[in-house]
Chains A and B, each alone.
Chain A
Amino acid sequence: MEENLKTEELNRYLEFDLGNQSYAVHLLSVKEVITVPDTTPLPNGPDYFVGIMNLRGQIISVVDLRKKLRIESKTLGLEEAVVIVDLQGVSIGLIVDSINKVLNFSISDITEVPEVQSQVNAKYIQGVYRGEGKLSVLLDLENVLNINEIKSYQKEVA
């Protein structure tokens, strides 16, 4: 019984578009959404690393999620936005094609990752939510933005 209750708990995800596909991240990890700011590129940085930005006096790294996941970006980028997420105390900005909405659903609505060839590496995906005739891929941001990856990049430079 208790287990049932747990799975019925509501989950809130922020849904956004990358290319033609919808993706979503857990709302609790999202701090805010802003328009794409002026960024300062990091010399010799990886191509998905857009640069650093000034968020009210705090310096935050900005990553292009589309380049990171090797997804071709959509159209003209008029709706581009930056989602500021907080992952284990690290704040990072993610550029996405457009912000859609906040999804509410219970854990039982999440389908396991289907065994299909996809552009996105399977370890980046928590699951898939199927709602309103559209699929949303739930991203596991901590894996996507593997901080160790960036750190190992540091070592390469050093």
Chain B
Amino acid sequence: MQTVLGQRRFTHIQDDLTNKSIAQMSKLFKEVQELSMSLRMLPIKNSFQKMERIIRDCSKLLGKKVKLHLVGEETEVDKTVLEHIADPLVHIVRNAVDHGLEETEQRVEAGKDQTGNVEMMAFHEGNNLVIQITDDGKGIDPEVIKNKAIEKGIIQNASTMTDGEIIQLIFHPGFSTKDEVTDLSGRGVGMDVVKTNIENLGGEVKLASKLGEGSSLKIILPLTLAIIDGMVIRSGLQQFVLPLGQVFELIRLEYDDINNIPGVGQLFNIRGEVMPLFTINGKLGQKINSQNQSEIVIIIRGLRHAFGVSVDDVIGQQQIVIKKLGEDIRGLKGIMGSAIMGDGKPSFILDLYELFKDDLQSNKSYSKLLNANESAA
């Protein structure tokens, strides 16, 4: 797939005929690529709907009334991820019904509705996919877990453990609170397999529980397998990738249109709206070598701020595979990850909003300006 992504590799070829056939080929490749890509990304709907049946089976078997709420069924998930989370999801849902929800009588006693609720929610959060499974059952009792764990010899002494740590013990291999093995549970394989599966995908599992009110399991999966549309730009001699979703508009500014205001910085006026202008070269410490009469400015619109960033050149659009950075430089400010370009060299993917966030906030003049814009609008 990565080779297909390097559509621009042959741009130096001069021959017309060759160029034509290459263009034709790229078009074909792109089609195939888009097709295969659309096959990869599937809505989570199908897996979620399977849960309906599982819930129904479980509730019949256990004589509990259960209602399943599905939220965010349309959230698209990479196919490979979907395949790997299908089984863990089944297990988690079963657990929620079997261990999480109380018997009908207990529910009534506790002043809850007869029907137990299980909610499955999927959404994107930053660069992650989050699947959250919540039940309104009895919650996890740290005491019960503690005693079972000691009985099974998983821990010796729980005196130094917090409740939060104790409930994490359910992820321990061989742990089960059930004494009898049933169709549904009691084998002690389960949550640990769930955890391993998710961790193999590079994700994490977070468990939260409140006694008497229910439990919530949050699965956080990175979207590293995800492919995004990127805009390739040049700053100095280096290429960078911007997520296309961040780019609101591209404009060309004449130097005369840029106002240098002492104490504030550079500002420009676009269709009656005043925006601060930053240069990517200055921020990234690249050499400034613009001799042009005009600047190419990328306009970014965040939730609160809008600003322009001038770049040396816009090279084009490309679909890119997000690659994780090495652990030593992961989480660097303003850098989302890296992508391997057509020539095999890696480039950084920039999060411009993150990169200039401080500049926007630190400078009060900008805030005032932006407020003025808001009130004007």
| Residues of chain A whose beta carbon lies under 8 Å from any beta carbon of chain B | 38-44, 49, 52-54, 57-61, 89-92, 145, 147, 150-151, 154, 157-158
Kindly count the residue-residue contacts between A and B in the assembled complex, taking CB atoms under 8 Å apart: 70
Main DSSP-derived SS at the A contact region? mixed
Collect the chain A residues with CB atoms within 8 Å of residue B333's CB.
Answer: 154, 157-158
Task: Encode B326-340 as 1/0 by CB contact (under 8 A) with A.
Answer: 111101110000101
Residue contact A91 to B326, C-beta cutoff 8 Å: yes
Q: Which residues of A contact B340 (CB under 8 A)?
A: 54, 57, 59
Rounded to whole angstroms, the CA-CA distance of A49 and B335 in the bound complex is: 16
B285 at the interface (CB under 8 A from A): yes
Interface residues of B (CB under 8 A from A): 2, 238, 283-286, 323-329, 331-333, 338, 340, 343-348
- If A42-B329, A61-B328, A147-B327 are given as contacts, then 14 extra A-B residue pairs at C-beta distance below 8 Å, sorted by A number, are A42-B332, A43-B238, A43-B283, A43-B285, A44-B285, A49-B329, A52-B348, A59-B324, A61-B325, A61-B326, A154-B329, A154-B331, A154-B332, A154-B333
Contact A38 B345 (CB under 8 A): yes
Bound together, the chains give a CA A91 to CA B238 distance in angstroms of 24
Residue of A nearest to B332 (CB): A154
- Nearest B residue (CB) for A146: B328
In the bound complex, how far is the Cα of B338 from the Cα of A54, in angstroms? 10
CB neighbours (8 Å) of B331 from chain A are: 154
Contacts of B2 in A (CB 8 A): 57
B-chain residues with CB within 8 Å of residue A145 when the two chains form the complex: 328
Given A43-B286, A57-B2, residue A52 in contact with residue B327 (CB < 8 A): no
Known contacts A92-B328, A150-B328; decide if A40 and B348 are in contact (CB<8 Å): yes
**Interface pair B332/A59, CB less than 8 Å apart:** no
Contacts of A57 in B (CB 8 A): 2, 323, 340
B326 touches A60 (CB 8 A): yes
The residue on B at minimum CB distance from A58 is B323
